[in-house]
C-alpha cells in the first residue's frame, strides 16, 4: 500500500478562490497543514493545467506534500505527479495502472458500495467518497444530495481501503466525518474561499487529528 496517510486534502478550483490563484491558495493551505493537493481546475485548458502543475509539483515536492491529478492520466504522467484521481467515467483503473506503473497513487471516486468494492478489488489506493453533506462545488445532483456520516460508516464497515471524504465538510462537522470512519478529509471551497486560508487549514488539521485520537479510544 502506497503512502496515502494524509489528513487534509486540498482540491484546487481557481474559479472558487476569491480572485486568488490556485498556487497562492496551495501555498497558504500547505503552510496551515494541508498534506495532499489535487490539481483539478477544470475551467483551465489542458496546457494551462500542465503549466500550473509544473509549479505545483515544484512546490509540493519541496514540502513533502503529495500531488494528485484529477482525471487526467496523461497529465499525471507528464508531470510525474504522485498519482491520479479517477471518477467512474474516467479511464479504467487497470489501464491507468498500466500507464503510470505500480508506484503511483490511484484514487477512485466511489460512493456506492458495489463500485467501492470493485475499486478495492482492482487495486485502488484510496476511495474518494461524497458528497457527505450538501455541496455546490460540483454541478451533479447525486453529489449535491449528500450521503451523510451514516454513508461513510457503512462503507468503512465493508472496506479496508483508506477513505477520503468530500463534500460540504466544514470545521463544524469535520470531526463527525472522521469519527464515522473517514481517514482524511478533502475540501475545495472550505479553504479556497476562506478569508485566512492558513488559519482555516490549521483549524481543520487540529480537528482531524483530535477526532482520530478520540476514535481510537
Q: Residues within the annotated binding site for Mg(2+)?
A: 71, 90
Distance CA 11, CA 41 (A): 8
How buried is 93 (Cβ within 10 angstroms: 0-12 exposed, 13-18 middle, 19+ buried)?
Answer: buried
- What is the bridge-based pairing of β-strands 8-11 and 126-130? unpaired
Distance CA 76, CA 71 (A): 9
Distance CA 152, CA 176 (A): 10
Cell of 47: 496546457
Please say whether the beta carbons of 114 and 154 come within 8 A.
no
Distance CA 154, CA 113 (A): 8
- Grouping H, G, I as helix, E, B as strand and the rest as coil, residue 14 is helix
Binding-site residues sit at 38-42, 70-71, 90, 109, 135-138, 168, 188-189
Cell of 114: 458495489
Distance CA 163, CA 14 (A): 25
Cell of 181: 470512519
Distance CA 111, CA 131 (A): 8
Amino acid at each position: 500500500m502506497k503512502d496515502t496517510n494524509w489528513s487534509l486534502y486540498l482540491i484546487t478550483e481557481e474559479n472558487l478562490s476569491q480572485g486568488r490563484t490556485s498556487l497562492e491558495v496551495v501555498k497558504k493551505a500547505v503552510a496551515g497543514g494541508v498534506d495532499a493537493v489535487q490539481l483539478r481546475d477544470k475551467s483551465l485548458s489542458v496546457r494551462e493545467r500542465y503549466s500550473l502543475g509544473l509549479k505545483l509539483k515544484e512546490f509540493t515536492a519541496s514540502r513533502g506534500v503529495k500531488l494528485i491529478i484529477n482525471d487526467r492520466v496523461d497529465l499525471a504522467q507528464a508531470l510525474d505527479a504522485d498519482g491520479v484521481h479517477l471518477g467512474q467515467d474516467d479511464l479504467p483503473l487497470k489501464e491507468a495502472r498500466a500507464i503510470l506503473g505500480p508506484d503511483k497513487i490511484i484514487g477512485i471516486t466511489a460512493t456506492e458500495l458495489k463500485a467501492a468494492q470493485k475499486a478495492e478489488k482492482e487495486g485502488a489506493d484510496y476511495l474518494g467518497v461524497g458528497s457527505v453533506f450538501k455541496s455546490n462545488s460540483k454541478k451533479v445532483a447525486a453529489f449535491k444530495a449528500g450521503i451523510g456520516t451514516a454513508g461513510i460508516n457503512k462503507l468503512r464497515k465493508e472496506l479496508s481501503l483508506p477513505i477520503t471524504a468530500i463534500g460540504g465538510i466544514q470545521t463544524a462537522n469535520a470531526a463527525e466525518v472522521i469519527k464515522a470512519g473517514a481517514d482524511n478529509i478533502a475540501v475545495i471551497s472550505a479553504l479556497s474561499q476562506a478569508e485566512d486560508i492558513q488559519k482555516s487549514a490549521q483549524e481543520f488539521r487540529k480537528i482531524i487529528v483530535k477526532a482520530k485520537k478520540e476514535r481510537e479510544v
